[in-house]
Amino acid sequence: MGMASHHPTNLHFVLFPLMAQGHMIPMFDMARILAQRGCIVTIITSPVNANRFRSVIDRAIEAKLKIQILELKLQLAEAGLPEGCENFDLLPSPALAGNMVLAMNMLEEPAENMLRGLCPPPSCIISDGGFPWTTDVAKRLKIPRVIFYGPGCFAFLCVHVVTTTNILDEIDSDSEYFVMPGLPDRIEVTKPQASTWGRGDTKESTALFEGMQEAEKDAIGIVVNSFEELEPEYVEGLAKAKDKKVWCVGPVSLCNKSFQDRAERGNKTVIDGHDCLKWLDSRESGSVVYVCLGSLTYASTEQSIELGLGLESSNIPFIWFIRQTSEDFEAWLSKEGYEERIKGKGLMVRGWAPQILILSHQAIGGFVTHCGWNSSLEGISAGIPMVTWPQFGEQFLNERFITNVLKIGVKIGMELPVLFPKLNEPKEILKRDVIKEAVEGLMRNDEEGVARRKRSREFGVMANTAMNEGGSSHLNMTSMIQAITEDLAKNAKPIQDTI
């Protein structure tokens, strides 16, 4: 994207990303897109999180973009969290999620003081929905606020239906499927699948959700990491339901053009990205399945073993990223000589995956995903069909979107969502045969498989078109910047003579 075509707008956007990778990564991408449009951008986050994105932002600054990260300390001790525990993926146990929310809520005063000291003063706050207090800060500073939520419009509209109708009260069973009312497509879900994102079941999560809904009312619009061609009826449905502007400006991951930016996005990748890329280089085009269950997935040892054996017994080459392993699982791996056994067929990598680099590699033909929205959208952008393995939050809704609306996925068969604070407690275990079957089913060259791959590729082309100059997401970004400019002009008070 040439800088020359984007004149400075003199707008200063301040971004507040939520402290979880799935929320931070798209927000940092959005920050760079705004800066490429000539806006001044300040991202406010805590020291540990700032550090994860430092190199990407430093490169943006070298490229003459007006962008900075400011650090705000989280009051960890007061919130009952250990030192350095500044992201949901660093929590010693997911049961401490409520403490994290507490720490986030204590940022209001320090954040406002920081904003009042900014020069030039902020013109707009873009905040994650998880910071409802930013609405009060925006009011006191007399500037507009735009909300960013992690998921796409489809999941969002489902949550709206569930929270504004009494559909869930009418359903007694937790295992029975019902049809979501008022949606353009026939979507069937169970009660738990429809309601783990939103209210949740703890005092803290319910209070947070209600605060978010209240704070939504004053926002001048909602910015979404999606693109209009992907879910046209849902973008429209959401704008209508919320009676707000909805700007789809994604897939924002596509702003990462350089190898370096794509390799280091979100966190330092564990291995020198090149090792796994070299391994992929030796594979046939479209032959490998990429397996990665997200930054917040706590797979039990038993589940990890079943996954390992399921992948091994399939006749499909695979590259499997596992974020954190347990001593038990490591013991099993070495006792079984698993990594030795799969040599030549599969590769297992521990830690953070350079996901967009891998997904765009010609050898990848399928993606086993937890259906977090970023991963889902990155799979869509790369034109890759998916095996859907949802766990919590709105992931079951994203699964329905991938399998029923877009028809580019194969369900692995998870039924029961877990609530985030209970992620490491015992849950439904998928057996090796089920995993083998799903992976082989995804890669099969039958009529269904060929059609699924073709559709996936078409969505990949649409995604890239949307982000290019003149594409729908590019135009929406222009329209959002325009809306902020107009809002500020409308609310600017003529300066009184003070003499």
CATH architecture of 3-256+465-491: 3-Layer(aba) Sandwich (3.40)
Structural contact between residues 354 and 268, judged by C-beta atoms closer than 8 angstroms: no
Q: Burial, 445: exposed, middle or buried (Cβ in 10 Å; 0-12, 13-18, 19+)?
A: exposed
| Contact predicate 228/201, CB 8 Å | no
Residue 261, C-beta contacts closer than 8 angstroms, at least 6 positions apart: 56, 59
- Domains of the chain, by residue range, sit at 3-256+465-491, 269-463
pLDDT digits (tens, 9 = 90+) for 34-82: 999 999 999 999 999 999 999 889 999 999 999 999 999 999 999 999 9
Which token pair is 440?
A: 């082989």
Give the pLDDT of the chain (499 residues) as one tens digit per residue. Answer: 444 345 666 899 999 999 998 899 999 999 999 999 999 999 999 999 999 999 889 999 999 999 999 999 999 999 999 999 999 888 888 888 889 989 999 999 999 999 999 999 999 999 999 899 999 999 999 999 999 988 999 999 999 898 888 888 888 888 899 999 999 999 999 988 987 765 555 666 677 777 888 888 889 999 999 999 999 999 999 999 999 999 999 999 998 887 777 777 666 555 555 578 889 999 999 999 999 987 666 678 888 999 999 999 998 999 999 877 788 999 999 999 999 999 989 999 887 778 889 999 999 999 999 999 999 999 999 999 999 999 888 899 999 999 999 999 999 998 887 776 676 676 788 999 999 999 999 999 999 999 999 999 999 999 999 999 999 999 999 999 999 999 888 877 555 544 4
Burial (CB < 10 A; 0-12, 13-18, 19+), residue 482, is exposed
Determine the pLDDT at residue 315. 86
Rounded to two decimals, the pTM is 0.91
pLDDT at site 296: 63
End-to-end CA distance of the chain: 48
Under 8 Å between Cβ of 377 and 152: yes
Distance CA 402, CA 400 (A): 6
Residue 418 CA from chain centroid, whole number = 18
- Tokens describing residue 209: 């959700």
Spatial separation of the C-alpha atoms in residues 147 and 145, rounded to whole Å: 7
pLDDT at 270: 52
- Residue 112's pLDDT is 97
Q: What is the DSSP string of 414-474?
A: ------GGGTTS------HHHHHHHHHHHH--SHHHHHHHHHHHHHHHHHHHHHSTTSHHH
47-62 vs 21-36: helix axis angle to the nearest 10?
30
> Is the CB of residue 163 less than 8 Å from the CB of residue 194?
no
pLDDT on residue 3: 42
Q: How many residues does the chain have?
A: 499
Whole-angstrom Cα distance, residue 85 to residue 79?
11
Cα separation, 338 vs 236, whole angstroms? 49
- What are the residues whose beta carbons fall under 8 Å from the beta carbon of 446, sequence distance 6 or more? none
- Residue 326: per-residue pLDDT: 82
Indicate the CATH number for domain 269-463. Answer: 3.40.50.2000
CA distance readout (Å), 76 to 111, 327, 414: 16, 28, 35
Q: Fold match between 3-256+465-491 and 269-463? A: yes
Distance CA 319, CA 355 (A): 11
Report pLDDT for 295: 67
C-alpha to C-alpha distance for 144 and 222, rounded to whole angstroms:
12
